[in-house]
Amino acid sequence: MTISADKLTTQLGWRYAVKRFDASRKISAEIWQALERSLILTPSSYGLQPWQFAVITNEEVKKKLPAISWGQQQPLDCSHMVVLAARRTMDAEYVERYMSSVTETRNLAADAMDGYRRVLVSTVEKMDSHLDWNARQVYIALGQLMVAAAMLNVDTCPMEGIDAQAYDQLLGFHGSDYTTVVGCAVGYRHPEDAQAQAVKVRFSADELVRRF
């Protein structure tokens, strides 16, 4: 095992939604590189990766964020503010682009994936809402990012309470194929963040888990 089962549980318990980041502490390039890889390596349905990620570290840009985050300071005070955006649509053209990346990466003949491509296009064309489907995949990335960070003793705060339209404008997603779904502030907790002391609240296993 890479870590012990106990240590995993400890780190998952150590994590909490940070209310106050230490604005003086920045994530090192090495650590950030690993966290960015965790975003990119996130699994998605059929491997389609229907997302883009905006990473905000520039102070001038960060200063604009509380006003479009219902006044919350985490996007400003954290080290790296991540905005997770979902692709608005899913269509044959995108599937084609993905399949080309599969055949190139795996050194396959250009037509090796034709059968799979047809199934996938047909599946995609039958769906009601591509944005809903794509947004769900984005939440896998959010979950993966928060655990990956916790493994490196890096703090996070997932943020649904942001003005997605205003973020779209600021980040150039407006009018693009992608739209803001959820944010995640990443950095280090302030030593005086009282929230760190709050006991974690969870329903019991008896309430949440059915065994068969």
Which amino acid, residue 199? V
| Helix, strand or coil, per DSSP, at residue 169 | helix
Q: How far is residue 184's CA from residue 188's CA, in Å, rounded to a whole number?
A: 13
Q: Which listed range, 31-39, 70-78, 114-122, 188-196, lies at the site for its own copies (CB under 8 A)? A: 31-39
Do 130 and 90 contact (CB within 8 A), yes or no? yes
Task: Decide: is 194 part of the binding site for its own copies (CB under 8 A).
Answer: no
- Which is nearer to its own copies, 110 or 198 (by Cβ)? 198
Binding of its own copies by 206 (CB under 8 A): no
| Least separation in angstroms between CB 162 and its own copies | 12
- Count of chain residues binding its own copies (CB under 8 A): 75
Helices within 53-129 (DSSP H only): 59-62, 74-77, 92-105, 114-125
Of the candidate spans 18-26, 40-48, 67-75, 114-122, the one that interacts with its own copies by CB under 8 A turns out to be 40-48
Among 19, 26, 34, 89, binds its own copies (CB under 8 A): 34
Q: Are 53 and 140 in contact (CB under 8 A)?
A: no
Query: What are the backbone dihedrals phi and psi of residue 82, each rounded to the nearest 5 degrees, phi first?
Result: -105, 130
CB of 149 to its own copies, least distance (A): 9
Query: 18, 20, 22, 39: which one contacts its own copies (CB under 8 A)?
Result: 39
Query: Please, what is the minimum distance in Å from the beta carbon of residue 2 to its own copies?
Result: 5
- Give, as one character, the DSSP assignment of residue 21: B
**In the window 154-173, what residues touch its own copies (CB under 8 A)?**
158, 160, 171-172
The pair phi, psi for residue 56, each rounded to 5°, is -110, 115
**How near is the Cβ of 140 to its own copies at its closest, in Å?**
4
Q: Between residue 91 and residue 150, which ones bind its own copies under the rule CB under 8 A?
A: 101-102, 105-106, 132, 135-137, 139-148, 150
What the block records as the tokens of 184 is: 């995640």
CA angle 146, 169, 38 (to 5 degrees): 20
In whole angstroms, the minimum distance from the beta carbon of 124 to its own copies comes to: 13
